[in-house]
Structure 1
Amino acid sequence: MPKSVHSERHRMIAAALASQRRAKGLSQAEVARALGRHQPFVANIESGERRVDLVELMDIAKIIDLDVVALVRDLQGSTD
């Protein structure tokens, strides 16, 4: 089993976060500020360099208005 940081599902999470952030017209710096973090934190998640845990995912999703349940459903449909 490959490490999850390199899995297709992890890439799907990172892509969904980046796509939804952009769709909401938010910069990485704005999301980071709302989280009380620095911009590289968000950049590293979106690039796949850093794994996002469930609590972080929920916090980010709230800021960018991402439907986490729908994302999980998409992930469940992935075979990786």
Structure 2
Amino acid sequence: MGESIAGEKMRLPNTARHELGSGAEITMAKTLHTRHNEIFLEKLQLARLGKRLRQADLADRLGRDQALVSKVESGERRLDVIELRDWLLALEIDFIKFLSELHAELGPHGMSQLRVLRGKTSDSPPS
């Protein structure tokens, strides 16, 4: 991932900005403080509580400390997809079922928006 192609340094996928022509760039909107993320975090916490586990109990199952569980549930720290899978396995919850339910719950709230940033007009046509 941080390799270069034709002398141009590539960014990691979660930080990439892609040219749209005419100097416009598109980036993913930050989702940390969105209703979508609130729903996700609530679903994670309810999953733990539904198994009648304390944060410390889940942390033990994950081989991590309770502070991590607290930070994730409060939105201070995010989980990547592999960590989410491990989290759900520790709770004995089917990963695909959880994602399907989350998808259905997020549906009425629309889609997280992409931001288009307008910059200087490029003299060269988009490739």
TM-score after normalising by structure 2: 0.55
Q: Which residue of 2 aligns with 1:21?
A: 48
1:35-50 correspondence to structure 2 within 5 Å: 35-50=62-77
Within the candidate set 45, 57, 61, 1:34 is matched to: 61
The reply to whether residue 58 of structure 1 matches residue 89 of structure 2 is no
Q: CA RMSD in A?
A: 1.8
Paired residues of 1:5 and 1:50 also in contact (CA < 8 A): no
Q: Give the helix-richer structure, 1 or 2.
A: 1
Distance 2:35 2:83 in 1: 19
Runs of 4+ in 1 over 3 A off after TM superposition: none
Corresponding residue for 2:14?
A: none
Which TM-score applies when normalising by structure 1? Answer: 0.83
Q: Distance in 2 between matches of 1:48 and 1:2?
A: 16
Per-residue Cα deviation, 1:30-75 (whole angstroms, up to 9, x for no partner): 1111111110101111111111111111111122225233223323
Structure 1 residues 26 and 63, CA, compared in 2 at 3 Å: closer, same or farther? same
Indicate the structure with greater strand content.
2
Larger radius of gyration: 2
Unaligned runs of 5+ in 1: none
Q: Structure 1 61/72 Cα, relative in aligned 2: closer, same or farther at 3 Å?
A: farther
- Letter of the 1:42 partner, please give it: V
Structure 2, unaligned runs of 5 or more: 1-27, 113-127
CA distance in 1 between partners of 2:62 and 2:48 (Å): 13
